[in-house]
Structure 1
Amino acid sequence: MILPDGYSDIPAGKIAAVVTHLEMTARPARRADPPGAPSGLWTLRKVDTPALHWYRDLHRRVGEEWLWFSRARMNDAELAAVIHAPGVEVYTLVVDGRDEGLLELDFREAGQCELVYFGVTAKLIGSGAARFMMNHALEIAWSRDLSRVWVHTCTFDHPSAVAFYQRFGFRPFRRQIEIADDPRLDGTVPRTAARHMPIIG
């Protein structure tokens, strides 16, 4: 359904976001790691068959403020079916021995890679850690026989997300509206999360 021009009401208890899909169809030139990146203190670690409690904790610490709710609503069997699936790879950014970033790559569609989840914890925003992690994410993705890497982000996310992806060579190609139940109203995430998106319900 195509929304008409002008304002469209969103029912109480719902949230709405503008979703931007971005892609690259060739390996980009590698960007330099951020100046002053702590040599040897930031590492990207692949996590084979992630423990569900570990994944849920990191997903929450990285994404709760940006209303990453779809995985939080999954039961254990549903979550395991996704993150343990052949072709899905989970990585973490390790900072001073602690897992502080989440990268999830989906290679299940031949010739393509989706960056399903990408983000760092709040204390690392603005530190260059996300730039460091994206450099390594693209190296991993383009080491495979691919024709496309893609990602989507939305207006729940950090306001610099679209510009960040574009700096790495992603190009916007599609825009959608997503409407969902507000996860703060059913306890999926705390009511204090995402103050940039007020609760109406």
Structure 2
Amino acid sequence: MQSTLTPVPAGWLATIVTSLEMTARPAAPTEPVRAPFKLERWTAPASVEAYRALFRKIGGPWLWFSRLLLSDAELAAILDAPTTELYVATRRDGTAIGIIELDFAAPSQTELAFIGLTPELAGHGHGGWLMQHALRRAWRDDTVRVWVHTCDLDHPGALRFYQRQGFKPYARAVETFPDPRVTGLYPRDIAPHVLLLA
């Protein structure tokens, strides 16, 4: 079999996206994961400004960009939809440090649209606490599938983390898009581990 090499234009990025799914409700952990944070639901109408600020704070190092391309009205329509549930993890002083965004639009399925913590919390075991809360809310009585996707621009441990939580990979694709540092969505010096060619 012959390999192919597809050029990526200057100012663009290419990433491998892996989709994962869980088709059975996970067994409840014998001992709940603990963390010095609390989780609260953001109800409609959600503040698009606060959401974008947290999205950037969590996703900036991994170049999360999709929600930043939306107008206020487009973003509000997603966040305030009856099929969206949005949860924010906070420190005791109220500082937002994590997000869970669930999409229930497909019947009997839940997309874990976004989940993450601010970069300084990575690697301290708090992801398990956040995922435990996400899965508890993602699985409803009629749910048959929960799915999520990640890419190789995300945290290096993200794919293994999802697999440890019980998600199984089922699809892979290559996504190309304008580098958000070139388009001005992020400063050019963010995510230095991702080569910027522009």
What's the counterpart of residue 30 of structure 1? Answer: 28
What's the counterpart of residue 46 of structure 1? Answer: 41
CA distance in 2, matches of 1:144, 1:57: 33
Matches within 5 A, 1:137-156: 137-156=134-153
CA distance in 2, matches of 1:71, 1:176: 20
CA distance in 1, matches of 2:51, 2:64: 13
**2:90 aligned with 1:94, yes or no?**
yes
What's the counterpart of residue 128 of structure 1? Answer: 125
CA distance in 1, matches of 2:101, 2:187: 24
CA distance in 1, matches of 2:152, 2:72: 28
The aligned amino acid for 2:20 is: L
What SS does the corresponding residue of 1:116 show, helix, strand or coil? strand
1:69 paired residue among 46, 65, 68:
65
What's the counterpart of residue 6 of structure 2? Answer: 8
1:113-158 deviation line (CA, Å, top 9, x unaligned) = 0000010001111122211010011011113420000000001100
The aligned amino acid for 1:94 is: T
What's the counterpart of residue 54 of structure 2? Answer: 58
Structure 2 portions without partners, runs of 5+: none
- The answer on whether the counterparts of 2:112 and 2:138 sit within 8 Å (CA) in structure 1 is no
| Deviation at residue 33 of structure 1 after TM alignment | 4.2
CA distance in 2, matches of 1:199, 1:14: 8
Relative to 1, partners in 2 of residues 1:93 and 1:144: Cα closer, same or farther, differing over 3 Å? Answer: farther
| Deviation at residue 174 of structure 1 after TM alignment | 0.0
RMSD across aligned C-alpha pairs, in angstroms? 1.3
Which deviates more, 186-195 or 59-68? 186-195
| Deviation at residue 194 of structure 1 after TM alignment | 1.3
| Deviation at residue 75 of structure 1 after TM alignment | 1.2
CA distance in 2, matches of 1:61, 1:72: 12
CA distance in 2, matches of 1:17, 1:116: 18
| Deviation at residue 6 of structure 1 after TM alignment | 3.5
What SS does the corresponding residue of 2:57 show, helix, strand or coil? helix
| Deviation at residue 30 of structure 1 after TM alignment | 3.1
| Deviation at residue 78 of structure 1 after TM alignment | 1.1
Identical counterparts, % of pairs: 44
The aligned amino acid for 1:77 is: A
